[in-house]
Amino acid sequence: MAPGDGQKMLTGIKVVDLTSVVFGPYCTQMLTDLGAEVTKVENPQIGDPFRYASPPAATPGMGPGFIAINRGKKSVTLNLKDQADKATMLDLLRDADVFVCNVRGKAMERLGLDYESLRAINPELIYVHCVGFGQDGPYADLQAYDDVIQAASGTATLLPRVDGDPRARYLPSLIADKVAGLHAAHAALAAIVHKLRTGRGQHVEVPMFETFTSFMLLEHLGGLTFDPPNAPVCYKRQIEPDRQPFPTKDGYISIVPYIDGSWQKVLDLLGDSSILERPEYADTASRFRNIEGLYREMARLTAGFTTEELLALLQQADVPAQPVRDIGDILDDPHLAATGFFRRRNHPSEGTVVEMHPPFAFGDFDFPDHAPTPRLGEHNAELGR
């Protein structure tokens, strides 16, 4: 028997997706996963440029990053400067529940696709505008990409605080795009709930700069939380240079003695709990003040064990620990294999692809099997084109 009523959780929710790269498509991918019908509108010449960000297996424009965040969507191509294509776009939007776009506001106004124009033809439309910067500030018209937001938010100055290398550097992840996409998805879902209660659509603005700054400053506002400040910016524990994976005979291991009582357990297992008898580590407050020294002592001791030996000891003692795995080996993780996180599916043009299951579960809903990631303009025929 199917969970619940056997329907997809967002059955009947129609989404028109005029977004590209990661921020917007990640948002709409989550709506797709929950069962919304998402129609992705792309430029006829090139489509979403993220199609070409990494090499495809077979078809140009079907790169791995694009495949990861566009599965289950329909792809239609429209030249929104062409009157006939513009009319088709408006037809799509007349009965849409949600419109997600990441085109800058002035360009949307020129196209006649701004919120006020669309509200006139669909008063119940939820208009989710994924922008680089809040539209009330001086950066409103600036372009924004992940690197730009990592720089503007101060994130590019975190690694220098850790390793002493003064060069500003990006975190090697599209983290600002992805964080903003998550916020856009939950904002869209909240607006859907609001519409179900009130029957009203609304304009929703999700600015990447403000979203990511809020995300990073959750802990890193640090002493600037208070006025006047009582300590420097940043959460000290996160920028401690010695708080790194610990070396072993054959690799590295992450050990987190987060609860103060765990220090005794860990140092007992490592064979030198006498370290805690030193004055600088004699009580909780002292250990917190001198944590970097404890990390260095641990690194000295862990080097005498293999990763497997340490992992067995620490897990038996209920101390959080995991081996440092090369990211290229993640498909072999036994836990992810057991939970079905990765699955292999046949794509009609790209062959076998590896997909990731949504990382959460519902007791009364099963995620549907989606159609494969679409080729550019694959669903144009549904528009009679």
User: For residue 328, what pLDDT band results from cuts at 50, 70 and 90?
Assistant: very high
For residues 367 and 165, the model is more confident at: 165
pLDDT given for residue 324 in this prediction = 98
Alpha-carbon span 147 to 174, nearest angstrom: 8
Helix %, strand %, coil % of the chain (to 5): 45, 15, 40
pLDDT given for residue 260 in this prediction = 82
By the 8 A CB rule, do 26 and 182 touch? yes
pLDDT given for residue 302 in this prediction = 98
For the residues 138-161, what does the mean pLDDT come to? 97
By the 8 A CB rule, do 247 and 303 touch? yes
pLDDT given for residue 288 in this prediction = 86
For the segment(s) 246-323, the CATH number from 3.50.7.10, 3.40.50.720, 3.30.2130.10, 3.30.1540.10 is 3.30.1540.10
What's the gap between Cα 3 and its chain centre? 28
Range name among 4-18, 134-148, 154-168, 209-223 with the lowest pLDDT average: 4-18
pLDDT given for residue 117 in this prediction = 98
Alpha-carbon span 273 to 217, nearest angstrom: 36
Query: Which part of the chain has CATH 3.30.1540.10?
Result: 246-323
pLDDT given for residue 24 in this prediction = 98
| Mean pLDDT for all residues in the chain | 95
For the residues 328-348, what does the mean pLDDT come to? 96
Alpha-carbon span 186 to 200, nearest angstrom: 18
User: For residue 2, what pLDDT band results from cuts at 50, 70 and 90?
Assistant: low
By the 8 A CB rule, do 152 and 209 touch? yes
Alpha-carbon span 47 to 61, nearest angstrom: 8
Percent of the chain with pLDDT over 90: 91
| Residue 230 burial by Cβ neighbours in a 10 Å radius (0-12, 13-18, 19+) | exposed
pLDDT given for residue 385 in this prediction = 67
Please write the tens of the pLDDT for every residue from 232-249. 999 998 999 999 999 999
Alpha-carbon span 374 to 348, nearest angstrom: 10
Matching residue, tokens 């990631």: 373
For the residues 66-76, what does the mean pLDDT come to? 97
Query: Which part of the chain has CATH 3.40.50.10540?
Result: 14-216+338-383
Please, what CATH class does the domain formed by 14-216+338-383 belong to? alpha beta
**Nearest in space to 71 (alpha carbons), one of 330, 339, 358:** 358
Matching residue, tokens 């792309």: 42
User: For residue 366, what pLDDT band results from cuts at 50, 70 and 90?
Assistant: confident
pLDDT given for residue 1 in this prediction = 41
User: For residue 4, what pLDDT band results from cuts at 50, 70 and 90?
Assistant: low
